[in-house]
Every structure is written in structure tokens, then in C-alpha cells.
Amino acid sequence: MTQKLMFSELYHYQRATEQQREQAGICAEDYYDLNWFQHDVLNVEVEMFILHRAYEKPLHILKRERAIVDIIGWFCMECEPYMDNLVDYKNGRIIKGFNQWFSILRLKRVISRYGSDEESDLTFKEIEEYLRTLIGYSKEHDFRTEIEKQRWDLRKLEMPYRTKVTERCFSISFTNIAQIRMRYEMKKTVLLWMKQFSAGTIRGRIAAFAKFSNYLLERYAWVESIRQLNRDMIEDYLIYRKVECISTKGFSTELKSLKATLDECALIFECNSLKGLILDTDVPSRPKHRLQTYSEDEQKLWIEATRHMEGQVGRALLLHMILGTRISEIQSLRQDCIIKKEEHYWIRIDGIKGRTYLKPITEEIRAIIEKAICYTEEVCGASEFVFADKRDPAKPMPYSTIVYHLNKVINEFDMRDDQGKRFKSKTHIFRHCYGVKLTELHVPDEIIALLLGHKNTDSVQVYRRMSNKIMAEETRQVRRKIDDILLEIVKEWDGYEDIYTFERFL
């Protein structure tokens, strides 16, 4: 790692005459101080950029930029001490952090170390532009393989991965994990997760681990590896999240993700001390919310509202309500999704969990799908999706488009529920309505699971609890059993005949 980059090593200095060097105010002992950049890769990135600039800029500009390099180095050491390179971090994060850190006082303090006023007219805009150019050059000349980077583009990895068809984010970032060694350990773990879990699940686990790693940086700075973790650290972290953190939203989900990560790291790295670090009792139970559903009148109101939406969005929402699928499964419908078997039409649905299943459909549903395909071909051109993105037909219709039109019709017609509250753009409630209706029709649990695209019947009981009719019938049966038990007890009492006669009278 280079500590000093001497001006005597620069191209223009070697070509310049003594008079030109004196005019620029540079001598052979002058240098760029690269001690600010403690990580090897970051150090090399800055050094290569300076050498590149030395071919383009005259000596007096290079001397002026020396102060800029010091300012950027000061920022990296003070605000981003664990940033080991510029390429793997988003431009916005670095620039935003630099804007927040920078002040006139710091600029004056850096300038004062040179004892001259030649750099006194440096402006923030000039420094920011230099930083942007440095980042751009580093990214342009980054020749590492995708796995070596701290931010992966899944499409460039030479291995299969699981993601939704409607997915817009194809990156996995390790940059928020503070400890460098832990990043590489998580990389190894994620490579084994790629076939087993979706990209969204992996991102959630990395985010949970990154929060824990930042806590370790603050309280246990000596910890560098996952293998060094112990139960005391976990207990301190649980207390910290419960007592010192303002928001505990999503903490239960985060802790489950962290528990799964540590348990699997115990197997991957053959480190038994990691297994069971987080106990089942450590994970707080989620508050039980009653899942929402629409009444018959509310569903009719929504069906009527589809007539006033943009045609393609209305058709997508109508299919979502009729078929009871997830909205993402409607978005990802392919144009060849309709299949004819034994004089009956079926629709092939690609589930977000990686499962593909078939559902029977009527002529009316087939007509809606065919009309949607015709609309896509006329407006968007060739596309493999029934509902395509108008700006990019190679992608399905984005969920934001559906939400926009839902909010538009809600506001335009002031749509309200039976309690007088304005509707919200929650599409998954229609799936609840579909499942509840199947339970009210006394459809077997196995068939309900198949129609909903579930792999088992575990979730069917949730839909049964959501139905008022089913709840009323189950309550009636329980009350009848209780009455029978009480009647057997009452028979042993004195005056039983009088009570029995009174009950019959009532």
C-alpha cells in the first residue's frame, strides 16, 4: 500500500523544466499523502486516478488538487472508515455523506497545513466534482469478477438465482456490514443460499445481520469474525434493541432472519458455538391482527369501480378478484398462459414461490385475458406478458401503476367501506375474500389450498376464521356442546325438573 505518491513520479513533473516546476511551486520532496486511505483497494484506486490525471493536467492544477485529495481522504477516514473501495458503494451515498460532513472550517484546516494561499479559493463545487470524477474513473476501470465485489448484480453472476418475475432490483449488497472479514463470510454463506432462497429473502437476512454488525462495531469493536460471537453479545443486543432503540418495528422479523443466519453459519463454518445463540424464546411474538376482508356490498362497489379505471388496469384487478391469485401473479401472466384440456380451459399461473399451478377458468375469463393480450399488442408491441409495462414491454406492468389507478378511482368517487372509512389501495384483501368464499361454500381444505396455490393446508384455517358465517356456525356448535355438558350437571341438582320446565318455557 502506497503511503506517499511523490510529485517526482508524475508524468508532467518529469517532462517539466526547472523553471516550470518553480512557477508551479513544486519541488521534488512534495507528495500526495495517501495515508488517509487505509484500505489497500481504496488506496490503489486513488493512486491510479492521480497518475491518470497527471497525464492530463498541468503541474499547478495537480498541486491544487493535492488539497482536494486530502479533504476526500479526511472524509473517508472520519465518516467511512470501513469503506474499502469506491466502486461497491452507490454514488448517492458517498456524495450525500460528503455533503453532510463538509464545512468551511474543515476546508480552512486542510489548507492551513500547506502554509500558503494558493488553494484558498477552492470551492465546494470543485471538490465535489473531483470526487464524482474519481468515483466514475474507479468504476470504469474496475476489472474484478462479480463475486469479488461488495455489491453483486445477480444477472452477472454465473449461477442460477431465484427472484420474482416482477422484480426490479437485481442487486445484493454487503457494504452495510461493518467488519471486512464478516463480509467475506457472508458472501460464502449467500453463495450457498442462492438456489434455496429468493433474492428478497437473502436481502432481508443480510439487512438484519448488517444491523447487528454495526452494533458490534459500536460495543465490541474487537470482533472481526462470525466465529467470535457468543451468547453474551446476543443478550446485550436484545437489551439494546428493546431499551435504546426508538423504533422496534419489524424487530421480530429481523431477529428471525438473524437467528436463521447464525444457525446456518454454524453448519457452513462447522462452528458449533454459533448454533442456538438466539433462542426461540428470544424472538418476540407478533401481535395478532384480524385479517381484513370485504363484505358483499364492498366487493360489488370495487367491481363497479373497475369500469372507471384505465382499461388494462381494470382487467388486471378484475382477474385478481375472480381468480384469487396474488397481484404479482396477475402481473406476470404470460400470453401463452391459457391451456385447453378435454374441452375445458385452464390458466397456468407462475407462483412467486417458484411453483407453477393450473386453475380452471370460464369462457368469460378467457375473453378478458384475450382482450388484454390484444391491448398489449396494439399499445406496447411484442411482449411475452399479458400485462406489459408501456415504457418497457419486456417487463410486466409495475405494481406502482396499479396502486396509482386504485388511488385515483378512490379519490375521484370518494369510495368508502360499510363503516364510512375511505378505502385504501390494498390489493391482497381480494385474495382474502376469495379464500373466505371458498370456505363458506364448504370446499375441502385440500382443494382450497390448490386453488390458492399453497403447498399445504396450513393457511386454510386462517380463511375459515375470517368468515363470519363459519365463525357463527362453529360458535353455535360449541354452545350446543356446552349446553349438553351443563344439562348433565344440572340433572344432579335438587329441583332439576323445575329448571328443565322453565328452560322449555323460555
**pLDDT, tens only, 397-438:** 989 999 999 999 999 989 998 888 999 888 888 888 888 888
pLDDT higher than threshold 80 for residue 36:
yes
**Residue percentage of the chain with pLDDT more than 70:** 86
Q: How far is residue 424's CA from residue 407's CA, in Å, rounded to a whole number?
A: 7
The confidence score (pLDDT) of residue 77 equals 85
The confidence score (pLDDT) of residue 318 equals 92
Please report which confidence band the pLDDT of residue 451 belongs to, taking 50, 70 and 90 as the band edges. confident
Best mean pLDDT range from 246-250, 390-394, 486-490 = 390-394
The confidence score (pLDDT) of residue 403 equals 92
The confidence score (pLDDT) of residue 317 equals 92
Q: How far is residue 118's CA from residue 65's CA, in Å, rounded to a whole number?
A: 11
pLDDT higher than threshold 80 for residue 120:
no
More confident residue, 342 or 338: 338
pLDDT higher than threshold 50 for residue 505:
no
Cα three-residue angle 438-443-446, rounded to 5 degrees: 105
Neighbours of 349 (CB within 10 A): 20
C-alpha cell at 57: 493536467
The answer to whether the CB of 87 falls within 8 A of the CB of 49 is no
**Residue percentage of the chain with pLDDT more than 90:** 16
Burial of 481 from C-beta contacts in 10 A (0-12 / 13-18 / 19+): exposed
Q: Sign of the CA dihedral 31, 36, 39, 45? A: negative
The confidence score (pLDDT) of residue 425 equals 87
The confidence score (pLDDT) of residue 105 equals 55
User: For the residues 351-362, what does the mean pLDDT come to?
Assistant: 79
- pTM of the predicted model over 0.85: no
The confidence score (pLDDT) of residue 109 equals 63
pLDDT higher than threshold 50 for residue 381:
yes
User: For the residues 49-56, what does the mean pLDDT come to?
Assistant: 84
DSSP codes joined into one string, 176-200: T---HHHHHHHHHHHHHHTTTSBHH
The confidence score (pLDDT) of residue 289 equals 63
State the amino acid at position 158 in one-letter form: E
User: For the residues 159-168, what does the mean pLDDT come to?
Assistant: 73
Please report which confidence band the pLDDT of residue 235 belongs to, taking 50, 70 and 90 as the band edges. very high
Please report which confidence band the pLDDT of residue 212 belongs to, taking 50, 70 and 90 as the band edges. very high
**Residue with cell string 470504469:** 140
The SS3 of residue 459 is coil
The confidence score (pLDDT) of residue 108 equals 61
Residue 4 DSSP one-character state? E
Question: Model confidence over 96-114: pLDDT tens digits?
Answer: 888 888 775 566 666 565 5
pLDDT higher than threshold 50 for residue 42:
yes
The confidence score (pLDDT) of residue 115 equals 47
Q: How far is residue 401's CA from residue 206's CA, in Å, rounded to a whole number?
A: 29
Question: Model confidence over 169-186: pLDDT tens digits?
Answer: 788 889 888 888 899 999
Which H or E run contains 269?
none
Question: Model confidence over 256-283: pLDDT tens digits?
Answer: 999 999 999 998 888 888 888 888 888 8
pLDDT higher than threshold 80 for residue 14:
no
Give me the chain's average pLDDT, please: 82
Please report which confidence band the pLDDT of residue 506 belongs to, taking 50, 70 and 90 as the band edges. very low
pLDDT higher than threshold 70 for residue 188:
yes
pLDDT higher than threshold 80 for residue 20:
no
Point out which residues pair with 349 in neighbouring strands. Answer: 357
pLDDT higher than threshold 80 for residue 475:
no
The confidence score (pLDDT) of residue 242 equals 83
Residue 27 DSSP one-character state? -
The confidence score (pLDDT) of residue 494 equals 60
Please report which confidence band the pLDDT of residue 248 belongs to, taking 50, 70 and 90 as the band edges. low
The confidence score (pLDDT) of residue 351 equals 75
The superfamily CATH assigns to domain 296-465 is Intergrase catalytic core (1.10.443.10)
- Report the candidate in 79, 272, 233, 87 with the shortest Cα–Cα distance to residue 174: 87
Identify the weakest region by mean pLDDT among 27-41, 62-76, 198-212, 476-490. 476-490
Q: Domain ranges for the chain, please list them.
A: 4-140, 150-282, 296-465, 470-505
The confidence score (pLDDT) of residue 112 equals 62
User: For the residues 201-212, what does the mean pLDDT come to?
Assistant: 92
Which residues lie closer than 8 Å to 4 by C-beta, 6 or more apart? 31, 32, 33, 34, 35
